[in-house]
Amino acid sequence: MNASFKPNLKTLPGGVPGLALARAPLGHVAADACLCGGLLPGAVHEVFAAMAGAGAAASGFALALALRALAKPKWLLWVRQDFSALELGEIHADGLHDFGADPSRVLLLRAPDANAVLRGGADGLGCKGLGAVIVEPWGSAPMFNLTASRRLLLAARQHGITVIVLRHGCAPAPSAAETRWLIRPAPLAPDDEDRGIPRFDAALLRNRHGPAGRWMMDWDCNNGIFRTAHSRASVPPFTGRSVEAPLEDLRQAG
């Protein structure tokens, strides 16, 4: 770890001096209401794939969050573990472009293991040219603990870089994340229109500054913004703001 990347962690929870950035509205009315207006830039946000088959949906959701937080001339760094590319496929430039990202302003770091993912992501947070970093380890990487996420948070605040931690194949653990999302692909209802657009069953498990919630969210690739899904598919009612219920849900899903 860099010398400059070892802040005094004891002073952290009270609030860290950093850039005051405007929240980036997601475009989904109910979610924005819960998030006090939008996604907090310069913070750590976690996106968990709810089950084995949700990896691609979680990737899309993480990218969507990063794009919402990304200011125009800034770059996006995507750090992914090699195993992730074997399981889910490599990040594909044409797919990025179709999704609404600009592939010519995306850097891809192929990290051999989870340690390298963390290290590479932390390195990126020292670079003012980046607007967002997607950090994608595989499995229950033990080095992504509370301390590591606090360090990420400190570095993220310092330069106003949004960090999206994209996790596959593991259950949420305590962290310094501003928000934590659990993503499933949304099943189609028989009379749905727009059957091909990215649609997420997104559960906001943790929200540092507001209530939790669960919504069907559509991603509008043309305009780069979320929409309320006009789906007939039923969203199971979300009870309470405690993290316990969805966690149970997660365990059942495997």
Partner 1 sequence: MPAAKLGLYPGKALADARAMVPDLAVIRANEPADRKLLEAIADWCVRYTPLVALDPPHGLFLDVTGVAHLFGGEAGLLQDAVRKCTAQGFLVHAALATTAEAARALAQSKPGTVVPPGGEAEAVAPLPTDALNTKPHIIYALKRAGLKTIGEVVGRTRQELASRFGGSFVLLLERTRGRNGGPITPRIPVPLLMAERRFAEPVTAGTAIAETLLSLSKDIAVILEPQGQGVRILEACFFRADGQVRHVTIETGHAIREPTLIVRLFQEKLDALIDPLDPGFGFDVIRLSVLSVQVIPVENIGFDTRSCEQDVAFLVDRLAARFGAQRILRFLPQNTHIPEAASIAAPAQYTEPVAGPWRVERDSDGTPSRPLRLFAKAEPIIVPEEDLAGMPVRFYWRHALHRLAHAEGPERIATEWWHYQNPGHTRDYFRVKDEEGQHFWIYREGLPDRETLQPRWFMHGLLA
Q: Is 55 in the site for partner 1 (CB under 8 A)?
A: yes
d(CA 205, CA 74): 29
Residue number with CB closer to partner 1 (225 or 243)? 225
Shortest Å, Cβ 222 to partner 1? 4
* Contact string 148-187 vs partner 1 (x = CB under 8 A): ------------------------------------xxxx
Among residue numbers 209 through 248, which ones bind partner 1 (CB under 8 A)?
A: 219-222
Q: Which of 33, 142, 173, 194: binder of partner 1 (CB under 8 A)? A: 194
Count the site residues for partner 1 by CB under 8 A: 65
**Please, are residues 214 and 202 in contact by the beta-carbon 8 Å criterion?**
yes
Listed residue (84, 174, 178, 78) closest to 131, CA to CA = 78
Instruction: Collect contacts of 19-24 with beta carbons under 8 A, ≥24 apart.
Output: 19/157, 19/158, 19/159, 19/160, 21/160, 24/68, 24/69
**Please, are residues 111 and 79 in contact by the beta-carbon 8 Å criterion?**
yes
Contacts of 207 (CB under 8 A, 6+ apart): 34, 35, 178, 179, 180, 241
Residue 40 tokens, joined: 């907090």
Listed residue (67, 28, 71) closest to 45, CA to CA = 67
Among residue numbers 63 through 122, which ones bind partner 1 (CB under 8 A)?
A: 63-64, 73-75, 77, 85, 88-99, 102-112, 116, 119-120
Residue number with CB closer to partner 1 (221 or 243)? 221
d(CA 121, CA 124): 5
Which region, judged by CB under 8 A, interacts with partner 1, from 19-27, 33-41, 145-153, 188-196?
A: 188-196
Shortest Å, Cβ 193 to partner 1? 9
The footprint of partner 1 (CB under 8 A) covers 53-57, 59-61, 63-64, 73-75, 77, 85, 88-99, 102-112, 116, 119-120, 123-124, 126-130, 184-188, 194-201, 219-222
